[in-house]
Amino acid sequence: MSVVVLVEHTEGNIKKKSLEAIQYAAGIAQKTGTTVSAVVLGTLADNVMQDLGQYGAQKVLHVPDARLNQLHARAYTNALITAAQKEDSKIIIALHDINGRAVAPRLSAKLKAGLVAGALSYPDLTNGFAIKKQVFSGKAFAYVNITSDVKVITLMLNTFPLSKTEGSASIQKLDVNFSDKDFGIRVKETNKITGDIQLADAQLVVSGGRGMKGPENWGLIEGLAKELGAATACSRPVADAHWRPHHEHVGQTGGTVRPDLYIAVGISGAIQHLAGVSGSKTIVVINKDPEAPFFKAANYGVVGDALEILPRLTQAVEKFRQNHK
Ligand SMILES: Cc1cc2nc3c(=O)[nH]c(=O)nc-3n(C[C@H](O)[C@H](O)[C@H](O)COP(=O)(O)OP(=O)(O)OC[C@H]3O[C@@H](n4cnc5c(N)ncnc54)[C@H](O)[C@@H]3O)c2cc1C
């Protein structure tokens, strides 16, 4: 018996967020006296898969079908069910991202399994199988007890810090009976997000809202982000107005970030925005309106004009870094 976890990879590397999912699976395996079987779909080098042992996977079940290098929700579901059956697994874990959100409900329906989407804690086994999760766009928490035999969990990103240990996972090829229906979509074009720091993985984020007035002022956001080594993000109206690309939009209808530091500049703090950022460890808000709702969610706040504050803050960070070289 083992805990089965879906692993995501891109350009020959495991995505950092998937390492966290493996580590989470390892924590559950330890609590339940089982092991971790990581499911890798698509083409990936053996040494990269073996290294998953450093995050707690004993075994990798590999389906080396190149069609799986991109998300096919039905095929992924089929592969995970095959893996779970092979391993006699009662717990299946994926990330609470686009892949996990596409696959987990299908798994839940097909296996008649209870699902916790967006887990924020390990299961409390003294209380059944109770897991903490956010509800009402992050306004409250719920503890959900999964009572079914098979359990499906999607883990909220950036919930636990990563730690690496010694270890090497064994690799087994997994045969899956796919049908044509499993590959019902065809990707015609891919526009890759470029940039040094990917928003989903970023530990530091500088984010701008409508208070930045226009795209011509975004150099100020980028300047601070560059000085800090941070990724940039934005509110939805900013992306809707094409000041910034849509992949930077965070919130209920955008991406979810949980960085160590989220600096919100000229963003009011609407509940739909907070839904995507309220898991940040520290929130700093810069807003000219002292009544802006975001201040209620902030650890630190600066009341003032962002266009004046940002250059001074960037300069201060630059000076600090020079003095601490
Ligand atoms: C179904 C639904 C889903 C949604 N999903 C999302 C989502 O995923 N993400 C999201 O962000 N929004 C989402 N929204 C929109 C959301 O409700 C807000 O309208 C939006 O977040 C507001 O964006 P904003 O804070 O940038 O702009 P505004 O609300 O216009 O706020 C601008 C802020 O900037 C401040 N400001 C102005 N000038 C300056 C200055 N010079 N210096 C400093 N501060 C200044 C103002 O005081 C104000 O607080 C959604 C809405 C709906 C209905």
CATH of the domain at 173: 3.40.50.620
Q: What is the pLDDT of residue 195?
A: 65
Q: What is the pLDDT of residue 135?
A: 87
The ranges of the chain with pLDDT < 70 are 194-196
Q: What is the pLDDT of residue 113?
A: 98
CB 171 within 8 A of CB 111: no
- Are 175 and 90 in a shared domain? yes
Dist CA 78 CA 178 (whole Å)? 7
CB 310 within 8 A of CB 286: yes
Convert the pLDDT of each residue in 148-192 to its tens digit: 999 999 999 888 888 999 999 999 999 999 999 999 888 888 777
Q: Is residue 189 in a domain?
A: no
- Are 34 and 164 in a shared domain? yes
Closest CA to 75 of 189, 171, 176, 190: 176
Closest-CA residue, ligand 1 atom 36, reads: 211
- Are 177 and 258 in a shared domain? no
233 CB within 6 A, ligand 1: no
Mean per-residue pLDDT over the chain, rounded: 94
Q: Is residue 192 in a domain?
A: no
Return the CA Rg of the chain: 21
Q: Which of 151, 183, 215 is at the close of a domain? A: 183
254 CB within 6 A, ligand 1: yes
100 CB within 6 A, ligand 1: no
Q: Is residue 194 in a domain?
A: no
Q: Is 217 exposed, middle or buried (0-12, 13-18, 19+ CB in 10 A)?
A: middle
Q: Is residue 282 in a domain?
A: yes
Question: 214 C-alpha to center of ligand 1: Å?
Answer: 13
- Are 179 and 204 in a shared domain? no
Angle ∠(282,285,290) on CA atoms, nearest 5: 135
- Are 15 and 60 in a shared domain? yes
Dist CA 268 CA 283 (whole Å)? 13
Token digits for 316?
């201060």
Q: What is the pLDDT of residue 26?
A: 98
Domain span including residue 245: 199-323
Q: Is residue 62 in a domain?
A: yes
Q: In the 3-class helix/strand/coil scheme, how is the chain assigned residue by residue? A: CEEEEEECEECCEECHHHHHHHHHHHHHHHHHCCEEEEEEECCCCHHHHHHHHHHCCCEEEEECCHHHHCCCHHHHHHHHHHHHHHHCCCEEEEECCHHHHHHHHHHHHHHCCEEEEEECCCCEHHHCCEEEEEECCCCEEEEEECCCCCEEEEECCCCCCCCCCCCCCEEEECCCCCCHHHHCCCCCCCCCCCCCCCHHHCCEEEEECHHHCCHHHHHHHHHHHHHHCCEEEECHHHHHCCCCCHHHEECCCCECCCCCEEEEECCCCCHHHHHHHCCCCEEEEEECCCCCCHHHHCCEEEECCHHHHHHHHHHHHHHHHHHCC
- Are 71 and 115 in a shared domain? yes
Q: What is the pLDDT of residue 169?
A: 97
Q: What is the pLDDT of residue 196?
A: 65
251 CB within 6 A, ligand 1: yes
CB count within 10 Å of CB 262 equals 29
- Are 36 and 127 in a shared domain? yes
Q: Domain containing 304 — which CATH number?
A: 3.40.50.1220
Q: Is residue 133 in a domain?
A: yes
Question: 102 C-alpha to center of ligand 1: Å?
Answer: 28
Residue given tokens 């389906």 in the structure block: 63
CB count within 10 Å of CB 261 equals 18
Q: Is residue 176 in a domain?
A: yes
Closest-CA residue, ligand 1 atom 39, reads: 211
210 CB within 6 A, ligand 1: yes
Residue 292 Cα to chain centre, angstroms: 28
307 CB within 6 A, ligand 1: yes
Ligand 1 atom closest to residue 235's alpha carbon, by position in its atom list:
11
- Are 154 and 224 in a shared domain? no
Q: What domain count does the chain have?
A: 2
Question: 61 C-alpha to center of ligand 1: Å?
Answer: 44
- Are 304 and 231 in a shared domain? yes
Q: Is residue 153 in a domain?
A: yes
